Every structure is written in structure tokens, then in C-alpha cells.
Structure 1
Amino acid sequence: EVGLGQSHQPKENWSKIEWEGWQYLPWANWVRANPARRLNLSVSPFPENQGYSLEACASGAYDSHYKILANRIVANGFEGAILRFGWEFSGNWMPWYPAAGKASTFAGCFRSFVKAVRAAEPGANIQFDYNPFFDVSQAVLAAAYPGDEYVDYIGLDLYDTSYPGYYKGCPIAGCDSTAATNNWNNNQLPALKKFVAFAKLHNKPVSIPEWGLGDRIRIKDDPKGGGDNPVFIRNMLKFIQDPSNRVAYHSYFDVNARDNYAQISGPLCPPGSTTSCTLYPKSAAAYLELITAAGAQDIDFWKSGPTTPTSTETSTSTSTSTSTDTNTNTVVATSAVITPASPYVGGEVNAATEVTATKADSLIVQLVFKNHTDSGVIEMKQFPLKSFAAGKPENMANTFLIPSSLSAGAYRVDTAVYSADLKKLYKLQSSSPFSVIDPVYVADGLSVTPSTLIAGGAVTVDASITSSIKESLIPEFVLHNDQGIVIANKKLTAISTVAGIAQHVASAFDIPESLAPGAYAIDLIVRNADETKVRAETRNVPLAVKPIHKASTAVVNPSSVEIGASFQASTFVSSSADESMVVEFALRNVATGAVVEKKTQSPQNFIANQGELVTALFNVPLVLEPGNYAIDTTLFSASMEVLVQQNGAALSLIPALYSASVPALTASVVIAGGQV
């Protein structure tokens, strides 16, 4: 009895993702015919090529679509369905493939999907399969894992291909047993063991939702498929049927698809045809032989979910404990010591443990950095196979880089000790939970010099930046007005911080003459290397920009004047702001430097950027000595603050033509007939 049927959702649009009725009606009839049957459904996280993203999925933006899907699953009688959400996400051919370093975004998307489905249909017993492709890296396998509470099966898809090249040069019909065995031992089996170990670490059963042959007709470039390969079929079925691997369910991809011919059922294909037939008679016979020999599959295991772990798979999380395999060995692992006690997001954490085996043995030790709340794996360090002497402790330590995308919270490091073939878990010991905290960034001491200047001048800015972790940061100084409108910015090259050490940064702004006078401010903003996050900032350090004042060198008319005569002095005055100003002319003796006379005008209103001619009339005092003089100009504010001083209009004073004194005369004039 086949207990599990599999279907794939289309990716074209949300309507098809929410439900493609014609596709599921036959499955609904099939499931209703036997209550033990279930549907395995591959679910697209979002439509392809339409701008949707894992980040938006993780934020819950698509939850309404997922809830509609859940409602329709139940309405059509598929309670207990297994959903392969974002299947084969680790393959770059999938629209939901997370870019390098972004695997955690898939984990967040997966969690949002599970939460939405459970919220929509809380009693439907819908289960979830975490299902990358078989060649996923250990790092991505761990980083993309959404957490134990969101996963029921840990699955992989595996087809008989050989990207390392073991099948290169094989005949079209298929490779020989030597090539098949080499590919199995060096490529396929290690991948399967990787998943078994990962599943055991999380106490989850393994699934193989898709597996099949790889043809040598459609798969190009080596070609990479193994063709009619009974060795692969036998090895896979033996692996699946080995109870120690805990394979809950598997599904052979019995289709001659457009990108791979894998069908093993039906008649032998006639020449030139691949429709509803098989190209692989030897593989078909091997499959039938082993499936018949194994008898009916026990579907109760995967219908009810994971089994209760044995004592060899659990231990207390806060102290040293021993778990024993009565047939082989006893292993003790201390709770990992964590340093620092509270590491920073984006920093490092070191975990050190001590492992002892009571018997001499070769063991594999893993240190697994995990979320303490949901057991989601952040990173795993697997040490090479190590020989343990009986009773001799071995120190195992690793420094983990804490991803900058990680959320602050409670974490732990588990120590897992396996047999050499990774089939037996001798010991799983958790550390005490520790807190990963957000890093501390400080940008302070921002100074602006000068803090007041005239437009057209320059200002220097400097500050210090301190980070609690080693990180590349990009500082940026921003000049803005009091409404927050940016006038100019200075983005510096990236600096590499040293944890806890302040670094000095500085720059300069040339203030344009066209800048209106007024109140301004300078900010320092510090971002991470890809400029997606603000790490620290200091804002609104004031800068006052004063107007530009101009007064031309005075013009004297005439430039040569007799003592006692008059002359006119004039200057051209302007300001970049509307304001009241006072103009003062001073007559200065060039030889002595003494100011001999001043003419201070009354305050006058000037319109911004509209210059005006200001004049004054001087009467040269008779007491002045001839010589060289000058007319200096000073421009004052209304409060008599000096704005501009302009020296140097030359004036020559010369003696008057009739400047001698005439004494008074006293005379008597006798005129005939009288006296005057």
C-alpha cells in the first residue's frame, strides 16, 4: 500500500499557490479512499520573477496567502498533510534561494509560514518538512534551519548525478558498477550521513521527498547522470530501510520530466519515445525486488511524528552527565564553558568542553551553537575523527563567529559525540544558556571648528568612534539646516574597529558663499559595511553661518585737496542678508597713523545681495599739516560689531594758496577838512 502521495504547487501567481483545484481534486479522492493516506505538498513561498522576497516573507507580509492555503488544505480533506515549504531552497535554480550569507532569511520565512498555517488551522495536524538539496553546505544547513518547534522532518532531495565527475565518459545507457560505487561512497553517502547526523542532533526523523535516477540524455555538461544504475537504486533503498537512519518517508520521482528522465515504472520505452515508459530496465527490476522484499511500509511512524528520544539522546543541560550505550562505550562530556559570558552579536564566542571515553575508541565530536529557545542551529563545528584513549579526557574547543544578523537572546552550545560512522550518538550535552547581547557602538566628541563662520569659509569636524566588536564601519558627516534639509555630506572610507578602542575620524566642509546665513548643524552617522544599519550617531552639533559683508576700498574725490577745502569719500557696501548696518569713514594720517577725523553714518537698511553706494563729505580742517592721508572704511552691524574693515584710499593734502595770516591794521588817514 502506497501511503503518501506527492504534488508540487505552481509558482506563477498567488492564486495558484493558494490552491490549484484541478490539480488537487484527484489527490483528494485518493486520500478519501483510505484514511491512512496522506498528501505531501511542495509549497512555493511566493510567485517567481515578480519582486517578492524572503525578507518580506519573514516579516509576515505573505501570511494572508498562507492562511488561505491552510484553509483549503483542510477543506479538501488533507488533514495531516506534510508541507515541503520552499523545497530545495539551497539550489540557485529556486526563486527562494537565499543569497550568500542570507540563509537566516529563509529560516525566518519558514517560521512565518508555519505560524500562519497553524494559526489558520490549529487542529489539522499539518506537518512541515525542512528540505534543502542534498549537496547543501553544512553551514547553510544549520543557518537556514528555522528551529525545532517549526520542523517535523529534515529532508533532502537526491538524484543520481555526479558533479565531481565520476560519471564522465559513461555510455548513454548508464555507468558501470565501479563508477556508481565511487559516486555513492564519495558523493552521495556522505551527504546522506550529513543529514542523518543533523536530524539526530535535533531529534527529527529524516525524509527523502524526492530521489531518482539521473539520465544521460537531458542532463548535459558532463553529462552528469548515471543512467540505468541499479547500484544507486539498491544503495538508496538499503539506506532508507536501515532503521538506524530513521527515514520516515521517501518518494521516488517516477516521472520523465523535461529536465531529467527518471521514470522506472511502466513498459520499456520504444526507440525515440519517453512518454509513460522507462529507459532503465535494470534499475526498475532492482527497485521492485527490494520494495517487494521489504513488504508494506509502516506509515504509523511518520503519521504520528517523531518518536520519543532514547536516553542516549538526552541529557541535562546544566551539568556533566553520562549516557551509556550498553553494547559499546560510555562517554562523558562536560558542559561547554562559554567565553566571554555574554558575547556580542557580530562578535565571537568560544566554547570549550572536555570529552572522556571509558574505552579506547575513535569518535567524532561536534560543537553546535544553537538558539536556546527553539534549538535552531546557528553554526556547527565538526572535528575530524579523533582517537580517544580509555579514560583520558580530551579538550575540544572552537571559536564561533556570531552572525551580525543574529538576534540578541539566549543561546547555548551543545556537545555531540558520535561513533566514527556517525550512526550512533553516544552523548549530547548542552551548555548552560548564555546571553548574546547587542553590540555597543558610541560616536561622541563631535566638534565643529569654528562653530561660527562666514559663508565661503571652511569648517573642520572630528569625532571618535568606539565599537564593542571588531567590525568595518563607514562614518559620514552631514551638514544640514535647522529643518533637517541636507546641504552637504562627507562619507569617509571604511574604518576597521578594534573592540573597545576609540578611533578618531575627521573631515572638512567648504561652506559655499551662496549658503544663506542662519543656524545649521552637523551630524555624524556611523553605518555597517553594507550601509544597511545605523550603528551609532551624534546629531545636531550647531554651526552658525554669518552673512557675507563687503565694503569696497573708498574712492576719494578729488584725491588731492587743499587744506581748508572739501572732498567726498564713497564706498560700495553689500550683505548676503537683509540687515541694518552702519558705515564709518576715517581720515588717517599715513605718517603718524593717527585718525584725525571720522564721519559715522546713521544706520541704514540693506537688502540682501543688493549693494549700495554710501558717501560722506569731509571739510579739511585748517589745522592739518600737508602730507599723505588715507580714508579707511569700517562696516558695523546695527549693534556696532565690526563686520568689515577696509584701508587705503589715498588722499593728498596740500597747502592753501592764501594760507598766510593777515595782521590787523590800525591807521589814521587825514583828509582835508577832517579826520578818519
Structure 2
Amino acid sequence: MRFGRLTLAAAALLLITTASVPSGTPLSQTERHDAVLSSDAIQPRGAAPRPVVQRAKHEVPFGAFVGSWDNYIPNIARMATWLGNANMQVGHTYLAGNGWQDIEGENVVLGLWSQWRQGDPSRKLVLGVPMLVPNEGNVPDAEVARLLARGNKGEFDQHFLKLARKLVALGGGDTVVTLGWEMNGVTYTSRCKPDPTAWKAYWRRIVGVMRSVPGQHFQFDFAPNRGLDAVPWTRCYPGDDVVDIIGMDSYDQPAGGTFDEYVSEPYGLQDQVEFAAKRGKPVSYPEWGLFRNGDNPEFVRRMVEWMRTHDTAYQTLTDYCPHGFWQCDRNPRSSSVFKQLMAGSPGAAAGTGSAQAAGR
């Protein structure tokens, strides 16, 4: 949920290496939910059998989005100190999506984030990668569909190939890539609704291109918004062979919503963990935080509990106003609860956990 927060900080340096929702009579959310889940070989909620999704309470690799460019990296250590020297193992950043040069990655920025990652074997680098540009340009659906068609012809392959080569050369070959995040929404050009079939094929193509680079061990995280949004995220799922983690961005919205509703709503948290369990994949929460209900400590408590009792590869709080707790002073009660829950967290042991097991 990034609203124009990424702009190019500097010119790029020399390269290191050369089926939409059917129209007609509207269905209720529940009816659409059951129909789509059934079409994707998932039982509607309440039908048997249902997979086991809960785990004993455990520590999850965690971090926060504290800023995209390399000069924000020290904020990770500062926030960790604020949390009683907690082991913040996850660094989360994004590529700007203003033009294709952005998708290839800026050398210094990627290099310093990769250097941070290599400073501790238990750390993870999570990188948001747009699929199309301009990613926040209010591009109409018809143009998105045309861009997806061009992508499936290979017109944009070179940019993802350069990014993959650069990450490997810089020591970031095990980066977690949230490719086309929040694809079920309307905010980004890298969205699914204009042509789900083409979107899925394009995701598969990009993954194939990036996995072709020797030395890569990328993990690809499919991370929609929680809930129905503009299109059911199950219609966008590109296939088990090209997805390693099934993520979800989860903010406390809509206004007046309860955490139990966020769990049980169509395409909500329960559907996510069951969908993932049936595929033998972990879940993640690349973006989460407050949004529509003010200072909401109950959401914070329940969200952390949820992540610690499910097969969670990692989680990263969005830490700026109105969402966060360290860089934002609007949420003092939530900040206190988050600090109480996370202070001194040792994180997950190096070389263990679902995210490592999920890598291909």
C-alpha cells in the first residue's frame, strides 16, 4: 500500500552485468467466494476436509518497512534498539516503478541492502518488484491489458534479467521477491483485474526469466491485499511451480471492522492459510499495520498472535503514519502493545523456518 512514496533518488549507475470477473447479475461476496474457491479446487469454507493450519506459538522472522533507499538501512538497527535489542531479521524495500530503468535496480541501493542481508545469515531481504511501469501512474484498464500482452511477448524480459543478474552479483541471490504485490487491487499498474489470464502468464514468464540466472535462489511471494478487493486473488494465482510463499497485505480496514471479520471474510486470513496449507507453502505478511480505525491495540495484539501461530515465513510492519508505531506518534496505545509483544524477540534461528524450506 504505497501511495507515491517511491521516487528515484539518483540516476542509475553503469550495469554490473551486460480472465476477468464475469459481468451480469451481481453475486454476494459469499456466493462469489464459494464459486471461485470451488473453481480453483478449494473447498468452500465449512466443507471437509480442511487442512491443519495452526502451529504451536513460535517466533517469526520480522522487520519493518522503514524506507526504501540505502540511507534508511540504519533505521533497522535504531528500531531494534527501541524494541529492546530485538533481532529484526527482515529488511523490506521496494523498487521504484517510474520507468524500466527502475525495475533493473539502482546499483548502490541494491548493493547496500544486499550487504545488510549478508551481515547475518538469519536475515532476509524482501524486495517489492513492479511488473509494469509506470506502476503508480493511474493507467486505465485497457492500457494495462495491452501492457500485459506486450509482456507476454517478451518485450520486457531484459529488465527482469538485468535485475536478477545484478542481485546475484551483489550477493542478493536469495532475495524474497514480492512481485506485483497487491495485484487484486486497483492502486498499481501491475494489477490483475484487467486480464487475469494474461497476468498469470506474465508472472510465470518473469519468474522463468529471473530463475534462469545462475546462482539465484530467489523466493517468489504472491502477496495480494486481504479480502475481495477488485478481483478475487484466487483468480490471479499463477501456479504452485512459480510461487514459493503465499503472502497477504493486511491492514485494519474497512472502518469498524473486527479482527474476527478479517479472519473469516471471503479471501481473508483463514482462506489464505488454508490455500497455502493445501499447497504445502508458508504464508507471509509483507505489509501490515493500522489504517482505518485509529489507534487500535487489539488489532496489533491479534495480528501478532495470528502470525506466531501459523506457518509464517516472515512479517514486516509498515512503519510510517498512519500505519506504524516507531516512526509514527499517532498510535501510542498500539505502539505500547507492539513494543510489549516484540521487545527482545530473538527472531527465528538461522537456517530454520518455512521461508528457507520453501526455496526452490
* TM-score of the alignment, normalized to the shorter chain, above 0.5: yes
Asked if structure 1 preserves the Cα contact closer than 8 Å seen for 2:225 and 2:249, the reply is yes
**Aligned counterpart in structure 1 of residue 250 of structure 2, from 149, 158, 175:** 158
Answer yes or no: is 1:113 the counterpart of 2:210.
Answer: no
| 1:241–1:202 Cα change, 3 Å | same
Name the structure, 1 or 2, with higher relative contact order (CA <8 Å, separation 6+). Answer: 2
- Residue in structure 1 matching 2:316, options 251, 271, 277: 251
- Tell me the CA shift for residue 157 of structure 1: 0.4
Q: 2:237 is matched with which residue?
A: 145
Deviation string, structure 1 residues 300-344 (Cα, Å, up to 9, x no partner) = 21442239xxxxxxxxxxxxxxxxxxxxxxxxxxxxxxxxxxxxx
CA contact (8 A) 1:54 1:98 kept: no
Whether 2:260 is the aligned partner of 1:185: answer yes
> Does structure 1 retain, via aligned residues, the 8 Å contact 2:94–2:127?
yes
Question: Does the CA-based 8 Å contact 2:184-2:231 persist in structure 1?
Answer: no
Encode CA deviations 1:379-428: one digit per residue, 9 max, x unaligned: xxxxxxxxxxxxxxxxxxxxxxxxxxxxxxxxxxxxxxxxxxxxxxxxxx
2:332 aligns with 281
Gaps of at least 5 residues in structure 1 are 167-181, 215-224, 266-275, 308-676
Provide TM-score, normalisation by structure 1.
Answer: 0.37
Which residue of 289, 305, 321 corresponds with 2:357?
305
| Structure 1 or 2: more helix by fraction | 2
Deviation digits for residues 510-531 of structure 1 (CA, Å, limit 9, x no counterpart): xxxxxxxxxxxxxxxxxxxxxx
Aligned ranges for residues 426-575 of structure 1 at < 5 Å? none
Distance in 1 (CA, whole Å) between partners of 2:307 and 2:179 is 22
**What is the identity, as a one-letter code, of the residue corresponding to 1:240?**
M
1:263 partnered with 2:297 = no
Q: What is the deviation of 1:28?
A: 2.6
Q: Partner amino acid for 2:190?
A: W
**Residue of structure 1 in register with 2:155 after alignment:** 61
Q: CA deviation at 1:248?
A: 1.2
Give the RMSD, CA atoms, in angstroms: 2.3
8 Å CA contact 1:80–1:303 kept in 2: the answer is no
Matched, 1:44 2:130: yes
Establish whether residue 134 from structure 1 lines up as the match of residue 226 from structure 2: yes
Q: How much has 1:194 moved relative to structure 2?
A: 1.0
CA contact (8 A) 1:53 1:96 kept: no
Among candidates 85, 96, 106, match of residue 20 of structure 1: 106
Structure 1 counterpart of 2:324, which letter? Q
Partner of 1:605: none
- Of 167, 177, 193, 1:83 maps to 177
Which of 305, 309, 315 aligns to 1:238? It is: 305
Letter in 2 for 1:185: D
Measured in 1, the distance between the counterparts of 2:264 and 2:90 equals 25
CA contact (8 A) 2:319 2:328 kept: no
Give 3-state SS (helix, strand or coil) of 2:205's partner: helix
The residue type equivalent to 1:156 in the other structure is M
8 Å CA contact retained: 1:105, 1:144: no
What secondary structure does 1:196 align onto? helix
Q: CA deviation at 1:227?
A: 1.2
For 2:166 and 2:157, the matched residues in 1 are separated by 14
Question: Secondary structure of 1:53's match?
Answer: helix
Contact 1:230–1:286 (Cα < 8 Å) also in 2: yes
Give the 3-state SS of the residue equivalent to 2:343 in structure 1: helix
Equivalent residue, structure 1, for 2:95: 9
User: What is the match of residue 206 of structure 1?
Assistant: 283
The CA deviation string for residues 411-446 of structure 1, in whole angstroms up to 9 with x for no partner, is: xxxxxxxxxxxxxxxxxxxxxxxxxxxxxxxxxxxx
Give the number of equivalent residue pairs.
262
CA contact (8 A) 2:282 2:355 kept: no
Q: Which residue of 1 aligns with 2:119?
A: 33
> How many angstroms does 1:107 deviate by?
1.0
Counterpart of 1:74? 168
SS at match of 1:120: coil
Distance 2:89 2:260 in 1: 30
Deviation at 1:142, TM superposition (A): 2.3
Question: Distance in 2 between the 1:197 and 1:60 partners?
Answer: 34
Match of 1:577 in 2: none
Q: Distance in 2 between matches of 1:58 and 1:68?
A: 18
Secondary structure of 1:89's counterpart equals coil
Letter in 1 for 2:247: G
Using the TM superposition, give the Cα deviation of residue 104 of structure 1 relative to its aligned residue in structure 2, in angstroms. 2.0
Under a length normalisation based on structure 2, what TM-score does the superposition of the two structures give? 0.68
Q: Aligned partners of 2:230 and 2:191: how far apart in 1?
A: 16
Deviation string, structure 1 residues 63-90 (Cα, Å, up to 9, x no partner): 1111100001111111211001101111
Q: Secondary structure at the match of 2:112?
A: helix
Which letter maps to 2:115?
A: N
CA distance in 1, matches of 2:210, 2:152: 14
Task: Render the CA deviation track for 1:132-165: whole Å, top value 9, x for unaligned.
Answer: 1112369732221111110100011011121xx4
Structure richer in strand, relative to its length: 1
The structure number with the bigger radius of gyration is 1
